[in-house]
């Protein structure tokens, strides 16, 4: 079977060049001073010190965690009933509903988020409707609310699909058995349905939390230029400030935070569907 084994060699080379080396470069930049000359490397911890000793940068980290936590909780609370309702539908309807939930995911995130701007703007649709009913216009765009809304809108399909697939996998005879044994609806849900759907919830949480904590597109479009989440700080450092070393350090910090949270959820989850499910693993 040597012939087949050799097939992996080209990709291994490619993978080292395009995946491993870029990651190492981030680490290298994070621990060095200005300039990317290999000749004059100067190791330093300053980039990390700068981040962790400055309350303002810690504030962006806190904001990112807070916003993505709220987003995740909302996605579970809204996503679960929806997934439950889809799982209850007849197989034909179920397929259609899943297609309808999936469809927006295939449309560009930027485009989808842009659509909300006209709706939320100060003189946008919602404020027009409020004015029509004689209510005070409220500021919606460029607030925490708008950012959370944008994130829930973009990421909730992941949650719904994950929970739905674990609900659909569930063995229905368990419910029947419980019914025969006299359990009421609430008991059946609490003792059977919910525990069995938990793996879906957990991987849904990862799939929502991960992109929201690192997002910079949604905060910038929905939160305005002054809305700084950690992704925005990275973007800022690389694109306009030009401090690549500091930017690399923050990227590293973010990657580590995410690895840790992944590890924790994986321990809770045990299954490894998560990886496969991220974006569109549900095509078939």
Partner 1 sequence: MNNKKFSRRLILGLILVFFYFPILYMLVFSFNGSRSLTSFDGFSLQWYEKMFSDRNMMEAIYYTLITAVIATFISTIVGTITAIGLSKSKRIVREVVQQINDLPIMNPEIVTAVGLMLFYVSMHMEKGFLTMLLAHIAFCTPYVILSVMPKLRSLDPNLAEAAMDLGATPAKAMWKVIVPQIMPGIVSGALIAFTMSFDDFIISYFVTGNGVKNISTLVWTMSKRINPSINSLSTLIVIMITITLLFVNLVPMVKEKRQKQGRPISNKVFGIIAVCFTLVIGSVLVALKGGVGSSSPEDAIAKYGSDTLKVYNWGEYLDPEVNAAFEKKFGVKIVYDTFDSNELMYTKLQSGESYDVLVPSDYMIERLIQEKQLQPLDKSMIPNLSNLAKGVKGLQYDPDNTYSAPYFWGTVGIVYNKQKVHKTDLEKEGFNIFHNTKYKGHIYMYDSERDSFMMALKALGYSMNTSDKKELKDAYDWLVKAVDIMDPEIVTDEVIDAMINGNKDMALVYSGDAAYILSENEDMDYYMPKEGTNLWSDAMVIPKNAKNPKLANEYINFLLDYEASMKNTLFVGYASSNEEVLDEASSEGGEFDGNHAYLPRVGYAKDEIFEYNADVKKIISDYWTKVKIAK
Q: Which of positions 146-185 make contact with partner 1 (CB under 8 A)?
A: 153, 157, 160
Q: Which of positions 192-211 make contact with partner 1 (CB under 8 A)?
A: 210-211
Window contacting partner 1 (CB under 8 A); options: 67-75, 114-122, 170-178, 190-198: 114-122
Instruction: CB nearer to partner 1: give 139 or 190.
Output: 139
Nearest residue to 245 (alpha-carbon basis) of 9, 32, 2, 5: 32
Question: Using the rule CB under 8 A, is 35 a contact of partner 1?
Answer: no
* Min separation Cβ 72 and partner 1, Å: 15
Question: What's the half-sphere exposure (Cβ side, CA atoms, 13 Å) at 106?
Answer: 10
* Min separation Cβ 196 and partner 1, Å: 20
* Min separation Cβ 45 and partner 1, Å: 18
Site string for partner 1, 224-263 (x = CB under 8 A): xxxxx--x-xxxx-xxxxx-x--xx--x--xx--xx--x-
Whats the size of the chain, residue-wise?
Answer: 284
* Structural contact between residues 52 and 256, judged by C-beta atoms closer than 8 angstroms: no
Q: Which of positions 46-105 make contact with partner 1 (CB under 8 A)?
A: 54, 56-57, 59-60, 78, 81-82, 85-86, 88-89, 95, 97, 99-104
Calculate helix-pair angle for 194-214, 244-269, nearest 10 degrees: 180
What's the token pair of residue 206? 């990862």
Question: Using the rule CB under 8 A, is 276 a contact of partner 1?
Answer: yes
Instruction: CB nearer to partner 1: give 178 or 277.
Output: 277
d(CA 93, CA 59): 46
Nearest residue to 165 (alpha-carbon basis) of 124, 132, 133, 203: 203
Ramachandran angles phi, psi of 192, nearest 5° = -120, -65
């Amino acid at each position: 079977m040597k012939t087949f084994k050799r097939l992996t060699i080209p990709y291994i080379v490619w993978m080292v060049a395009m995946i491993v080396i870029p990651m190492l470069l981030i680490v290298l930049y994070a621990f060095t001073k200005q300039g990317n000359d290999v000749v004059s490397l100067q190791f330093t911890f300053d980039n990390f010190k700068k981040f962790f000793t400055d309350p303002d940068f810690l504030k962006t980290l806190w904001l990112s965690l807070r916003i993505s936590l709220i987003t995740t909780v909302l996605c579970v609370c809204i996503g679960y009933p929806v997934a439950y309702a889809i799982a209850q539908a007849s197989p034909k309807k179920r397929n259609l509903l899943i297609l309808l939930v999936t469809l927006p995911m295939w449309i560009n995130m930027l485009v989808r988020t842009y659509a909300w701007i006209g709706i939320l703007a100060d003189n946008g649709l919602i404020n027009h409707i409020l004015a029509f009913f004689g209510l005070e216009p409220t500021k919606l765009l460029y607030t925490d609310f708008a950012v959370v809304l944008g994130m829930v809108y973009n990421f909730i399909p992941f949650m719904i699909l994950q929970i739905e697939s674990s609900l659909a996998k569930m063995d229905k005879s368990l419910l029947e058995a419980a019914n025969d044994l006299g359990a009421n609806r609430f008991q059946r849900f609490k003792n059977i349905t919910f525990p069995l759907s938990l793996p879906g919830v957990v991987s849904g949480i990862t799939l929502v939390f991960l992109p929201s904590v690192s997002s910079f597109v949604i905060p910038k479009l929905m939160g305005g230029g002054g809305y700084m989440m950690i992704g925005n700080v990275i973007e800022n450092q690389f694109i306009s400030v030009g401090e690549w070393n500091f930017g690399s350090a923050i990227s590293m910090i973010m990657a580590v935070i995410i690895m840790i949270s992944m590890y924790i959820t994986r321990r809770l989850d045990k299954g490894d569907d998560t990886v496969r499910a991220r974006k569109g693993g549900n095509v078939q």
